[in-house]
Chain A
Amino acid sequence: GAVVSQHPSRVICKSGTSVKIECRSLDFQATTMFWYRQFPKQSLMLMATSNEGSKATYEQGVEKDKFLINHASLTLSTLTVTSAHPEDSSFYICSANRGYEQYFGPGTRLTVT
C-alpha cells in the first residue's frame, strides 16, 4: 500500500513556542493532504485540507492563524502549531489521497507543557 510518513513522531514543547509537523507521501504524489486531530479512544477530527500550491481549507472552529498549513510540493505538507498551549496537546495525523483511497501517516504525539 501507499506510504505516508510523519515527522516527528513525538514532540514535547513549552507553552508559547511553535512546533512544525511534516507529512510526506513517500511513493506517490498528493495534490491534497488532510490534517486530523485525535483525542484518546475517539475518532479522527478533520482540521483542514491542504492543497498543493494554494491555501488550505479549514474546518469550522479551527483557527487558521494558529494551525498554519503549507503544502509546498506534491509530496510534502507541514502543519505548524503556533504559540502552543497545553490544550493543543493531542495526536495529530495526516493523510493523503491515492485515487479514492486515503492513506494515513503514523501520527505525531504533541505534548505542550
Chain B
Amino acid sequence: TQLLEQSPQFLSIQEGENLTVYCNSSSVFSSLQWYRQEPGEGPVLLVTVVTGGEVKKLKRLTFQFGDARKDSSLHITAAQPGDTGLYLCAGTPLSGSARQLTFGSGTQLTVLP
C-alpha cells in the first residue's frame, strides 16, 4: 500500500483547460513537496507546504495543503504544452525520519496544443 496516493495517474488535456492533481494519505506529514520531472532529468522542486490549510501560488499553479496535513492538491489554470511532465508529490511523515521523503505514485500530465 502506497503511503501517498496520487491521482489521477495519467491526464491528457487540451491547451487552455484547467486541471487538479490530488495527493492523499491517511498519515500526517510535517511538510509536503511538489516536483515536476521531464524525461531524462531529475525532479525539480516546485513548492514546499508546511502549514495545514496553506495555499501557495506559483503563476498558474496553485498548491494547497489540507487542514489536517494529510493531503494536498495542485491546480493548474489554463494549462500549456510546456506544463507537460511527471508531477510528483512527496512528503516527510510526522512519524518517520525527518530527512527521508515518501513519494506519491506520480501523475503523468500531457497538454496537447
Contact = CB atoms under 8 A, between A and B. Distances in A.
Contacts of B106: 41-43
Q: How large is the interface on A (under 10, 10 to 19, 20 to 34, 35 or more residues)?
A: 20 to 34
Nearest to B48: A101
Interface of B: 6, 30-31, 33, 35, 40-45, 48, 50, 86, 88, 90, 92, 97-101, 103-106, 108
B103 A34 contact: no
A102 B98 CA distance: 11
16 contacts: A6-B42, A34-B101, A49-B97, A49-B99, A91-B40, A93-B43, A95-B101, A97-B99, A100-B31, A100-B98, A101-B45, A102-B45, A104-B35, A104-B42, A104-B43, A107-B42
Nearest to B50: A100
A46 interface: yes
A1 interface: yes
B88 A43 contact: yes
